[in-house]
Structure 1
Amino acid sequence: MSPPAFPASVLITGASGGIGGALAAVYAEAGRTLVLQGRNALRLAELAAFCETRGARVLTQVLDLRDRVALADWLRTLCAQEQLDLVIVNAGLNTHVGPSGAAEGWPEVQDLLEVNVVAAWATVNAVLPAMRLRGQGQIALISSLAAFYGLPVAPSYCASKAAIKVYGEAMRGWLAAEGIRINVVMPGYVESSMCRAMPGPKPFLWSAERAARYIRRGLERNRARISFPFPLNLGTWFLSVLPPTVSERILRLLNYGG
């Protein structure tokens, strides 16, 4: 069964962030329900008001995704009340190696894993039963081009996004026969506060609005992997297939540490 041409109900986690907010804007239109989750209540309220001016019905949820009990309770209730056609698992954190090679702080690493990996998988686990029951639905998992090869400046972030990539690929293969679409989204550098905080060069930087439009087109075509921008996606893929000594040398030359 094909996914609906017009997903009438769209859930976006991390909607108060750069890409999440831009995705909410591109999906905001008459006849659609947007369910927006985030931690920044003010930003979420502003975004909801904007999406409502475009005709969308908007539900918001201020929630820290590290609270897995609250997350599961909310999603269970939501799935009982709304038929979610598209779920975009977008919420994420970043951490990186500090000045002079200082190690990533362990509390920050734990928070990153809780949000980027555990909460992402918990979200899928919670919304999937209803989709399987009706034999239809689409889930987009926001990974990163950093999933192709670990950058020395951000080891935990890269590892978390690699976990999302592999998880999404496996889930797509498992659920395809049931009419459920799973898509892995792998952005490069997209303008946001999280991107600005990340060390190292940021080639081929895209605006959040451009990225959101590209992601929407990819999801409408049910592309297994939505990676951008070219040629950065090709370059990061090559890093994963080249001999490690060559990839390490390239990253040093490009000033990514190591």
Structure 2
Amino acid sequence: MSGTAGTKPIRLVISDVDGTLVRHDKSLHPETIKAAHELKAAGITLCLVSSRPPRGVEMFLGPLGVTAPHAGFNGGQIVAGDNKTIIEELSIPEEAAREAVAHMTEAGLDVWVFAGAGWYVKAPIGPYVEHEAEVTRNTYTVVEDFSPYLSITNKIMSSSKDFDLVGRVEGDLQQRLGNRASVNRSSSYYCDVTHVDANKGHAALALAKIVGVTPQEMACLGDMNVDIPMLKVAGLSIAMGNAAESVKAAAMVVTGTNDESGWADAVRRYVLKT
């Protein structure tokens, strides 16, 4: 890890979801729920940022007592606390979206397109379609052609059980798309493409502005490389104990794992300082 924990009081906590806020079985640790309510009682706002679609984090808002805006698609959509109003939305340039879909398909990955509130797939029997539908409580639509949606696409997602292939496609697309889009793995089996500004650093800064705090008053927690941009802009950056080594190196402090009470421990020790 690098640096030291910030000394300025934290007024906003921004957390990744999968691998950070929730356990591997996608449940909330009881201590995480308690710590979230302790933040609220202390007057500290909690916002969630995820590679999931915004509706994929709604199930956690009630148990955690979150009423602030949240971001999905790595910042491609920021939704108000009413879970309906879109505050900010970023779409991938159509040419880049078409190139990404074509390359992923040719490489043998299962490709999905998210546009607006819609989730579009070509093969409902894809290796992770039902898994994603269950985890995010989202509903997909089967289509023959993605073309009608590629001018308004917030996120392109591809998956495979061949994790090495997913990694190769990530590297290939980062080179091919350059600064036309952002390409990152959100897990070992998912490769995501979003607008070039749809990254968690952009999302964290946007949420801080909406809430009315400075980046120095913001703490961010994450576990994957896709979380590093928000760790870099935070006054306090926290990596989970299960995080990739590159994420730990980018963070000021490292806490326990997501299956343990790592999230709650970090909030209490470094934010609430109890």
TM range (shorter): 0.3 to 0.5
Higher relative contact order (CA 8 A, sep 6+): 2
Provide the TM-score with structure 2 as the length reference: 0.38
Whose helix proportion is higher, 1 or 2? Answer: 1
Whose strand proportion is higher, 1 or 2? Answer: 2
Provide the TM-score with structure 1 as the length reference: 0.40
